[in-house]
C-alpha cells in the first residue's frame, strides 16, 4: 500500500510522518508518536476516551484517519495546559473529586475546554451537552458538571 507523508502540529510541535491511507489517527498518536492521553475505548466513537482537539474542535480520534490530520493543529491533553481553561478545569475537577479511575478524564477535560473557549458562561444544559459524548462509569456526571460550572464562574 502506498504511504502518505502528512505534516501537522501536535501540541505545538511540528510533526511529519509517513502513514498508510487506512491508518487510524488514534493508533498513530498512541503507537507511533507516544501520545497516551487519548485512550482506546469502544473504537466506535461512542465513549469519548479518544477525544482530541483538531483545529480547536473535539473529534473522536478512533474515527479519524491519520491522513485527515494533514495540515491540522492537533492538541491532546499532554499539550492542552497552554490553553486558557485547561489548568483551571483540572484543578476544579480535582477539588470536586470528579474522577475516580480517570479513564474518561482526558476526553472530558478537552470537551470542557472546547466548550469554555467558545462559551465562557455556559448554562447547565450547555455543559451537559458538551460532555454528553464522554462516558463515565465511575463517578457519574454530577461532580463533572459542577466542576465545569464552577470553573466557568471563576469560583
pLDDT at 139 over 90: no
d(CA 29, CA 123): 33
d(CA 71, CA 88): 29
3-class secondary-structure state, position 59: strand
Domain holding 20: CATH number?
A: 3.10.20.30
Domain termination residue (choose one: 22, 45, 79): 79
Is 101 in the same domain as 148?
A: yes
- pLDDT given for residue 113 in this prediction: 97
Is 73 in the same domain as 11?
A: yes
Domain that holds residue 138: 83-153
Question: 8-18 burial, b for 16+ CB within 10 Å, e for fewer?
Answer: bbbbeeebebe
Is 92 in the same domain as 143?
A: yes
Residues 6+ apart with CB under 8 A from 76: 10, 11, 29, 35, 37, 38, 52, 53, 106, 110
Is 61 in the same domain as 13?
A: yes
* pTM, to two decimals: 0.94
Q: Is 39 left (phi over 0), alpha (psi -120 to 50) or beta?
A: beta
- pLDDT given for residue 138 in this prediction: 87
pLDDT at 155 over 80: no
- The number of folded domains in the chain is 2
Amino acid at each position: 500500500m502506498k504511504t502518505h507523508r502528512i505534516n501537522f502540529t501536535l501540541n505545538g510541535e511540528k510533526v511529519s510522518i509517513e502513514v498508510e491511507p487506512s491508518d487510524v489517527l488514534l493508533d498513530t498518536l498512541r503507537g507511533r508518536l507516544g501520545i497516551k492521553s487519548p485512550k482506546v475505548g469502544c473504537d466506535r466513537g461512542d465513549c469519548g476516551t479518544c477525544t482530541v482537539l483538531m483545529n480547536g474542535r473535539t473529534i473522536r480520534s478512533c474515527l479519524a484517519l491519520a491522513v485527515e490530520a494533514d495540515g491540522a493543529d492537533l492538541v491532546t491533553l499532554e499539550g492542552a495546559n497552554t490553553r486558557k481553561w485547561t489548568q483551571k478545569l483540572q484543578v476544579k475537577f480535582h477539588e470536586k473529586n470528579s474522577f475516580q479511575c480517570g479513564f474518561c478524564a482526558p476526553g472530558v477535560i478537552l470537551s470542557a475546554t472546547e466548550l469554555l473557549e467558545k462559551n465562557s458562561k455556559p448554562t447547565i444544559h450547555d455543559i451537559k451537552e458538551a460532555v454528553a459524548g464522554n462516558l463515565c462509569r465511575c463517578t457519574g456526571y454530577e461532580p463533572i458538571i459542577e466542576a465545569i460550572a464552577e470553573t466557568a464562574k471563576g469560583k
